[in-house]
Amino acid sequence: MLHYTDGFQDLHTKLYEEVLKGNGFRLDEDRNAIQIVYDVSNARPEPSSGERHPLCPKE
């Protein structure tokens, strides 16, 4: 089990320190994630096939 209570406040600071040391992710490592986010952001909504979340309004 993971516990996030210790050191959580410094997480971003530690991450940025590692990036500045050259230990961050490279663009070629992130390319798939960037492409997925781009595709989802630019996708056109498609009509529902009948199944939908109960909180989703009907068309």
| Phi and psi angles of residue 17, each rounded to the nearest 5 degrees, phi first | -60, -45
CA 31 to mean position of chain CA atoms: 13
pLDDT at 5: 65
pLDDT at 43: 93
Decide: 3 and 11 in contact? Cβ < 8 Å. Answer: no
Q: Is the pTM for the entire model greater than 0.85? A: no
Q: What is Dmax (Cα atoms) for the chain? A: 51
pLDDT along the chain (59 residues), means of 10: 68 88 87 93 83 77
CA 17 – CA 15 distance, rounded (Å): 5
